[in-house]
Amino acid sequence: MIRLDSVNKEYKKGGFFSKSTFRALNNISLHIEDGEHVGIIGESGAGKTTLGKILSLIEPPSSGSVFFSSEKITKNNIKQKRKEIGVVFQDPYTSFDPKQTMLHSLLETEQSKENIFKQCKQLNIKESLLYKYPNTLSGGELQRISIARAILSNPKYLLFDEATSALDVSTQAKIVNMLCDINNKKQYTYIFITHDLKLAAFISDRVYVLYDGYIVEETDDINNPLHPYTKMLTETTNFKKSKQSKKNINNGCFFYDTCPYKKDICKNSMPKLNKTDNKKSIRCFLYD
């Protein structure tokens, strides 16, 4: 199981000597059970990528706690635990050394060629592709090999950071169906960071919705959203068309200026993330 407790992440603004900071994640608490498929969605700037870095142990939080298989992550064990996580990034072309064949790259993860060929066969990767260089392969072929490399590391869970967004629709569908097939027994825990609402709805058991560094909703039914922001996303064909509102100067709800359902209390008070049942949570005064 993966668990985050009250995680915050801050970055410096300005030059090296600047004391100014901005908070990319705000009081994030979540849990992901073994074998679950969990989606993390939101617009650009919502905090998805930062959350992905925390979940993949690429970066530690500024405050709060991260637990992996019931063990708290510290500076003493973070490198070892990081080896148990497979990550597949958005652009497969930047994931491989252009001077190495695909087989050579995979041998850095798994020394047995037999195991490599076996895994690639399960992912419908032709053996002949392994003797080619990255620039001679299509995006879909490279992404399949990226997934093979992640699985060959024998991870406990796999994190996909916008892993299909650079592919055409047909290739996306093939990759997603392949991921479902290879994990039909829930051997792996999947985490999908995406701006694609349809993908999140199709492949996820539960979805976390991020806005301005906050979790605004946790749901097992993204097609029937509760939070006004999530409702807006389901009605928007392109996330980039909607704009995140400015910080509320009265420390109220961050969505106050945009929300069509705002109440007086929203202007000066921040709603808490409250459970509505065991698979749903909502940060909104409409449901208090």
What is the reported pLDDT for 258? 87
What is the reported pLDDT for 236? 66
In a domain, 13, yes or no: yes
Q: What angle do CA 64, 79, 33 make, to 5 degrees?
A: 55
In a domain, 98, yes or no: no
In a domain, 146, yes or no: no
In a domain, 107, yes or no: no
**CATH code at position 179:** 3.40.50.300
In a domain, 105, yes or no: no
What is the reported pLDDT for 250? 59
H/E run at residue 22: strand 21-32
Say if pTM beats, i.e. exceeds, 0.95.
no
SS3 139: helix
Residue 110 CB neighbours (<10 A): 17
What pLDDT digit, counting tens, does each position of 41-66 carry?
998 889 999 999 999 999 999 999 99
In a domain, 124, yes or no: no
In a domain, 104, yes or no: no
Q: How many domains does the chain have?
A: 1
What is the reported pLDDT for 261? 92
H/E run at residue 141: helix 139-152
- Token readout for 165 is 């967004």
What is the reported pLDDT for 70? 85
- Token readout for 76 is 């003493």
Residue 279, domain extent: 2-84+155-287
In a domain, 92, yes or no: no
Strand 189-194 versus strand 157-161 pairing type = parallel
In whole angstroms, what is the distance from residue 86 CA to residue 188 CA?
A: 10
The low-confidence residues of the chain, meaning pLDDT below 70, are: 236-250
